[in-house]
Structure 1
Amino acid sequence: MPEEKILQFTIDKEVFGRERDTFLLPEDITQFAGMEEIGATVVAVYMRYLHDVLKKANMTSMVGFIDPATPSLGLADCKGKEGNRLFSGSSARSSCVDEEAKNIPSRRKAVIWKTLSGTPKQPSSVECGYYVMRFMRDIIIDPSLAYAKGNQEASYPQEAIDEVRNEWSEFVYQIIEQGNY
């Protein structure tokens, strides 16, 4: 991808509750490739990838995503789902969504909130986005949350972070190859 090229594509309404255009800049890709601190756009692209994974497994009703670029709006627009797991890529706290976000409008199905203990500790703020992406992946891969019962106080090994980085890179490459931007 040429340095001056901006990768623009649309994230469908079914991912964040509203359709939104995403602009992936060359510096986003460079930072991601260099394992530097990443922004909300990179995390949103991975959420879009995870939505595809859930779709293939016929599990989209179990998980809802909150747009990390606009968490308040994303939460307000998020429709209740059977499983009611909401992911916000805006922080790597020990809960899936900010504690203040528990005030879901009453017309929606009640959400069962779980604060997960034993979440992996990130060594510094640079790893935050990568840890958020890996943690979301762990939850989707193991819906029983059995992994959360184990002692995960240690940091993720670099191989676990690289697995997420490879998935993200392959997804972005597919978008470029298909010309879906």
Structure 2
Amino acid sequence: VPLVDMKWSQIPKDIKEQIWEAVDMAFVKWKDFKSTLTRHYILPYTNDKEKLSQPPETYKFIEKAQWDAFVASRLSKDFESVHSQHAQIREKLKYNHRLSRKGYAGLEDQLKETMPGVEIDRSTLWKRARQDKHGNIPNPKVAEKAKLIDELQNQVSEGKVSVYGSNDVLTIALGPEHPGRLRGVGAGISPRQYFTLPKPQRVSFDDRLKERLRVLLQEETKKMEAKAREEALRMEARTKQLVEAEREHFLSQLSQLIPNFDPSMLKPRISQSPKNPMSDKASCSGGDVRSLHFEDDTAKNGKHQEDEEKEEEKKDEEKEEEKKDEEKEEEKQEEKEKEDEEKHDDK
């Protein structure tokens, strides 16, 4: 992606999707990697401190300090409490899904591509979310509900069963919804949004990805801008230091070349009258002659500037005189026209 001369809105959609997939994949791989280490190399050896003292042979690139900190975090009471809570939640789930991180919204977009023209309702999503890559449902309880969903869908198409609002096929198959959440659509969508709002107003998976990516890039841009500002300030301070050091070195050299050197001599003296160093040349040393030449050049520059200012003033005065002459000429012309009008009126 070009870093300059291109706004986010101008980047092609396919590139945006690739960016998000790369970002999401990096997060997933990082999360899965930590989960693998926890499940296979830490939790089975909680009572064997010797095996937890070094990183696994398979992952020798992990530094020991990081490994020790990671093991300590996984053996902490806080992690144990969270892990236990999640285990209890999983035990209570009757119909576990097999979705990836894209969730129901990603599954819906996928089915729209593979099943064009077919209405994808939440009962279809719920059933597909529990199938493996071969289309089978290993869990007997889930398979039983999936079969019931197929039967209800056929009865609806034949007109034997009527569905309306929240009383759709999935509700009939699984029972009433709990307040505040909705099965088969994923997080972030309430029953009111799903059953009340028209479908075009529902947030699609692509829109969610765009928004998440926009926020992520916005935060990253702010960090980069702040870092760039800090770097610019550091460079500015460093430049000032180098300039000051160079100036001090230059003044030191001048002090060695010119006896009784005064740094204030380097400042322009425009208000002073020019001096002729040749008048006292016989009585001046080499260093004094160089100093006088420097002052003479400064005076010449000052005189040249004064001459330019006088020339500008002279031009301004000439313009002012020309303007006054034009005004007088206009007044005479007006008086003449007025006299001609009076003569005409008298006649």
Structure with the higher fraction of residues in helix conformation? 2
Pick the structure with greater CA Rg.
2
**TM-score for both structures, normalised by structure 1:** 0.29
Higher relative contact order (Cα pairs below 8 Å, separated by 6+ residues): 1
- Report which of the two has the higher share of strand: 1
Query: TM-score when scaled to structure 2?
Result: 0.18
